């Protein structure tokens, strides 16, 4: 996790919002922001080092990297190559994928396929994000350094314009090492993924890319096109239908029901969405883990971060049946069934 804890109260100093307003709509109490100049790959390096240490695998044994992010360090190249250099890995293939909030689901599917096909023996899967470069703020001293200065009315109005999205996001990274082992039925049991491009503009950034001439222009910044657009109500309706269905489908296909499930780890986009999904599945609180209150939406990093914290909290035991599920812009969504 990056170093700066930014509370809802701190955000209220730069825009028209409050702790109550944010918690009621999202369940978020605080989030982490990176240092200026700290890129997505920088957060991935310590996350990967921790994953390697926990797995007992040394970095020279890694023969493939899958790097999921919505926010690469640069427009190109992808963050995978930059991470490989910073982490001191040998020149193994590094695949960058862009399924946003469903990124880690897709990363696990690709890692599973590489291992089962024999093309890799040790895969490092990463979900990492630094969102703050998307925000057109000029008051970083207030957010990161604790300054109590009063910002200008113009800046306050500009920040308030994006408050529905700005309060959602935090920075963070998570990683996992996957390998072929004699596992007695443990490990990844099944994966399913889906894409429906008819909803692409429900969550998107209308700036940058070959759809524009040039890719970027000053007007994009002035209009706020660089800030993500999230149609919250529409996303809520889709998510609370699609995510429970994905969980039910993958359980049924493998001969299980929700009664057999020990833990559900959902993408941490909005606590209200997760509560609705939990209700539809009829799961008790003991079978669901959320940590969005502390970190906000860290996009591709939410699932590995939440699973790690669930393990630290003693919520995961050997032999447990765990389901990961997530939905992201595109729309991309999917679920992974995993036996600990």
Residues in the chain: 340
131 is annotated as an active-site residue: no
Of 297, 308, 323, 332, the active-site residue reads: 297
DSSP state of 34: P
Structure tokens, 91: 């020149």
Beta bridge partners of 176: 125
Edge-first strand order for the sheet with 321-328 is 187-195, 332-339, 321-328, 263-266, 288-289
Give yes or no for a contact between 223 and 306, defined as CB atoms under 8 angstroms apart: no
The catalytic residue among 8, 267, 274, 290 is: 267
Distances (CA, A) of 323 to 57, 113, 188, 194, 307: 25, 18, 10, 16, 10
Q: Tell me the DSSP string of 78-108.
A: -HHHHHHHHHT--S--EEEE--GGGHHHHHH
Q: What is the SS3 assignment for 176?
A: strand
| Alpha carbons 42 and 51: distance in angstroms, whole number | 15
139 is catalytic: no
> Which runs of consecutive H residues, i.e. helices, occur in 229-301?
232-253, 271-281, 292-295
Active site includes 254? no
Catalytic residue among 101, 199, 308, 332: 101
> Residue 68 and residue 97: Cα distance in Å, rounded?
5
Label residues 116-150 b or e (16+ Cβ within 10 Å = b).
Answer: eeeebbbbbbbbbbbbbebbbbebbebbbeeeeee
Q: Which residues pair with 68 in a beta bridge?
A: 97, 127
296: left (phi over 0), alpha (psi -120 to 50) or beta: left
Please check whether residue 68 is in contact with residue 127, taking contact to mean a CB–CB distance below 8 angstroms.
Answer: yes
| Catalytic positions | 101, 267, 297
């Amino acid at each position: 996790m990056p170093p700066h804890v930014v509370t809802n109260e701190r955000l209220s100093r730069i825009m028209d919002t409050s702790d109550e307003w944010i918690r009621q709509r999202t369940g978020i109490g605080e989030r982490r922001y990176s240092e200026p100049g700290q890129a997505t790959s920088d957060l991935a390096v310590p996350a990967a080092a921790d994953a390697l240490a926990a797995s007992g695998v040394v970095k020279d044994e890694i023969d493939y990297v899958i790097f999921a992010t919505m926010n690469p360090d640069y427009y190109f190249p992808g963050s995978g190559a930059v991470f490989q250099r910073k982490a001191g890995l040998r020149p193994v293939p590094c695949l960058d994928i862009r399924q946003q909030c469903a990124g880690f689901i897709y990363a696990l599917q690709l890692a599973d396929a590489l291992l089962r096909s024999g093309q890799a023996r040790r895969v490092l899967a990463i979900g990492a994000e630094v969102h703050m470069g998307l925000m057109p703020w000029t008051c970083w001293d207030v957010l990161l350094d604790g300054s109590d200065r009063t910002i200008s009315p113009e800046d306050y109005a500009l920040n308030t314009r994006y408050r529905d999205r700005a309060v959602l996001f935090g920075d963070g990274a998570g990683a996992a090492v996957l390998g072929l082992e004699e596992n007695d039925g443990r490990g990844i049991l099944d994966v399913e993924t889906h894409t429906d491009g008819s909803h692409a503009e429900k969550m998107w950034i209308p700036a940058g890319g070959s759809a524009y001439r040039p890719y970027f222009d000053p007007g994009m910044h002035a209009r706020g096109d660089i800030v993500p657009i999230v149609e919250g109500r529409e996303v809520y309706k889709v998510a609370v239908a699609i995510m429970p269905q994905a969980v039910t489908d993958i359980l049924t296909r493998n001969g299980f029901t929700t009664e057999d499930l020990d833990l559900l780890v959902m993408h941490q986009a909005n606590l209200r969405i997760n509560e609705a999904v939990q209700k539809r599945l009829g799961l008790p609180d003991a079978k669901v883990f959320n940590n969005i209150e502390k970190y906000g939406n860290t996009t591709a990093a939410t699932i590995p971060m939440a699973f790690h914290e669930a393990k630290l909290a003693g919520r995961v035991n050997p032999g447990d049946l765990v389901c990961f599920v997530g939905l992201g812009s595109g729309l991309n969504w999917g679920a992974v069934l995993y036996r600990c």
